[in-house]
Chains A and B, each alone.
Chain A
């Protein structure tokens, strides 16, 4: 089954403790992206990747890092989380940009205390 898998589904952590949210897709998609969803703001792009070893900043990249060492994986790294990074995070992938089938993972609810 074609899918985008994120882990963990829920995460509670404390300020300053490094964490990684994993994202994996099994469709050989070139394009992957991370969004955060906040009430009243919709989804905002954090980072995206057009292909292996090619990543770029989205609208709200501050406080986040990503890597794309393999085509299927696109982890989101918070080196020193802060409470304003409490949010619902979504990973998404598509065959290429402009392809209408942008598929989303189920989301990761992160709370930073």
Chain B
């Protein structure tokens, strides 16, 4: 069945780079997404990558996709306290249910 897995917690020092990893199972996913959830808020689409791409860069964010290993990562350069949030990896599910499959979320804590 479909599944998306992420580590649950990551702690980094302010100014360092953060790397959040995700593995997925549906090799026919069209898009893979990263969403950010700040405390008390909804989910904000952070970035996404089309399945025929290997890398996408958007300012401080770099998304890497390894289709062979079904591995997706999000790198945040120069991590700031404002980046503290829960980050969800998600894939489109092609099995006819018209939905996104979400991981459990990685809580990123940024400390001075």
**Interface size band for B:** 20 to 34
Once the chains bind, are B97 and A98 in contact (CB under 8 Å)?
Answer: no
- Shortest distance from the beta carbon of B96 to any chain A beta carbon, whole Å: 9
Chain A window 92-103, contacts with chain B (Cβ cutoff 8 Å), 1 for yes, 0 for no: 100001101111
Q: Which residue of the partner chain, among A90, A98, A103, contacts B45 with CB atoms under 8 Å? A: A103
Judged by a CB distance under 8 angstroms, whether B19 is at the interface is no
Known: A100-B31, A102-B45. A48 touches B8 (CB 8 A): no
CA distance in complex: A15, B102 (Å) = 29
**Interface size band for A:** 20 to 34
Judged by a CB distance under 8 angstroms, whether B30 is at the interface is yes
Binds B, one of A35-43, A64-72, A73-81: A35-43
CA distance in complex: A35, B48 (Å) = 20
- Chain B residues, Cβ within 8 Å of A107: 41-42
Judged by a CB distance under 8 angstroms, whether B4 is at the interface is yes
Known: A100-B48, A106-B42. A58 touches B97 (CB 8 A): yes
CA distance in complex: A105, B43 (Å) = 8
- Look across to chain B and name the residue whose beta carbon is closest to the beta carbon of A42: B102
- Chain B residues, Cβ within 8 Å of A106: 41-42
- Chain B residues, Cβ within 8 Å of A4: 42
Judged by a CB distance under 8 angstroms, whether A85 is at the interface is no
Once the chains bind, are A100 and B105 in contact (CB under 8 Å)?
Answer: no
Once the chains bind, are B42 and A90 in contact (CB under 8 Å)?
Answer: yes
- Chain A residues, Cβ within 8 Å of B90: 43
Q: Which residues of A contact B (CB under 8 A)?
A: 4, 31, 33, 35, 40-45, 48, 50, 56, 58-59, 90, 92, 97-98, 100-107
